Amino acid sequence: MVVTFFLRPFSALYGQILVFRNWLFDRQLKTVYRPEQRTISVGNLTVGGTGKTPMIEFLVGKLLSGSLNLSANHPETHSLATLSRGYGRQTKGFRFVTPADTAQTVGDEPLQIYRKFRSRILVAVAERRAVGLKQLLGQFSQIRAVLLDDAFQHRAVQPHLNILLTDYNRPFFRDHPFPEGRLREGRNGAKRADVIVVTKCPADLTLTQQQLCIDAIKPYKDTGTPIFFACIEYASPQPFGASTYNFTKQQPVVLVSGLANADPLEAYVAQTFSLNRHYRFNDHFAYSRATVDELLRERPAGAALLTTEKDWVKLEPLFTPDERATLPLYYLPMTIRFLNDERAFLDQIWATIHPN
């Protein structure tokens, strides 16, 4: 509490600097790029941990199939792309993700998205979203829509739809700007959102609990901005080796994660499997062979190593072929599920992609 008190003035100063920055963009005193192709931004007010990548993957899946299918009339061309910063990569500038790339060259989350959808979409990275977007669209003019990952604060691009995510367990309306809290900007930044999604909700969240959350968000959003609620769903563990494993409450599991907030993941694994130990690393952690050696040395005999999709793309290359062939190595896929009104949410996406 004492530390928080002393950080408050710095938090207020940081918040005012961002208010001034946003004012410059709002008054069009700074250059803003808005391409003809439709752009959808997925971001947050909080530093990490709101489920941006699962939301991007949810949108990609919907835009490649069903009623939102962008490629229905032209399946031979790329109609959809994603653009991320590529956090944690050791390269600079704009680049496309290719089969030869690693997390070191493009970042863990873009690589995860690319591995999931492969050649069905274009995945690109660039620190400066406006510059990257111009290069992306300049090379592939047939693209009809671009999903901008973690771009809510990138005011140099004006998206056609701004989706703001907030974690139900760490909502922005209870937080403060850095360094007192974890907000990248003040709560009123939510007024720029066209859609707000409360993520990581309990699957059994009642309508009364949803209304309490809506009431808490209302002072910070524009009138008419819809609010949706979504939870995380985990699929069956998937092997990234040849060994098989019977996941039961009796078989031990060692969990490995590098997330901004691993509490929901740990709770799920502990409830569903027999969690022996959880190795927690920082978000976007750069694993090494030494990390793998430690994990294998400390692993109880017969225990499976279970990790996230984001960590899998970084850990898999570090295991030897023999280890992948003989050890129970698994990752846990996760998806977003809307608690209600998914159709209304998709209608917002449809109206953005097909404005006429």
Condensed to tens digits (0 to 9), the pLDDT of residues 285-298 reads 999 999 999 999 99
Amino acid at residue number 32:
V
pLDDT above 50 (res 156):
yes
* Whole-angstrom distance, CA of residue 285 vs CA of residue 287: 6
329-355 core/surface letters (b: 16 or more CB in 10 A; e: else): bbbbbbebebbeeeeebbebbeebbee
Q: Name which residue leads in pLDDT, 16 or 143.
A: 143
Average pLDDT rounded to a whole number, residues 40-57:
93
Unique residue bearing structure tokens 């709560």: 187
Q: Name which residue leads in pLDDT, 6 or 339.
A: 339
pLDDT above 50 (res 2):
no
Question: Could you tell me the two tokens for 45?
Answer: 């007010």
Asked whether the CA dihedral 145, 149, 155, 156 is positive or negative, the reply is negative
Question: Could you tell me the two tokens for 163?
Answer: 């989706």
* Whole-angstrom distance, CA of residue 244 vs CA of residue 325: 10
Q: What is the mean pLDDT of the chain?
A: 92
Asked whether the CA dihedral 86, 169, 18, 29 is positive or negative, the reply is positive
Range with top average pLDDT, 154-163, 179-188, 234-243:
154-163
Domains of the chain plus CATH, in order, are 2-232+337-353 (3.40.50.300), 238-332 (3.40.50)
Residues contacting 320, CB < 8 A, separation 6+:
none
Nearest of 61, 132, 52, 121 to residue 92 by alpha carbon = 132
Condensed to tens digits (0 to 9), the pLDDT of residues 200-253 reads 999 999 999 999 999 999 999 999 999 999 999 999 999 997 778 989 888 999
Note the pLDDT of residue 243: 78
* Whole-angstrom distance, CA of residue 31 vs CA of residue 248: 56
Answer whether the bond into residue 300 is a cis peptide, omega within 30°. Answer: no
Amino acid at residue number 283:
D
pLDDT above 50 (res 122):
yes
Note the pLDDT of residue 75: 52
What is the percent of the chain with per-residue pLDDT over 90, rounded to a whole number? Answer: 78
Distances 204 to 70, 162, 210, 265, 341 between C-alpha atoms, Å: 33, 27, 11, 17, 15
* Whole-angstrom distance, CA of residue 77 vs CA of residue 42: 24
* Whole-angstrom distance, CA of residue 45 vs CA of residue 247: 37
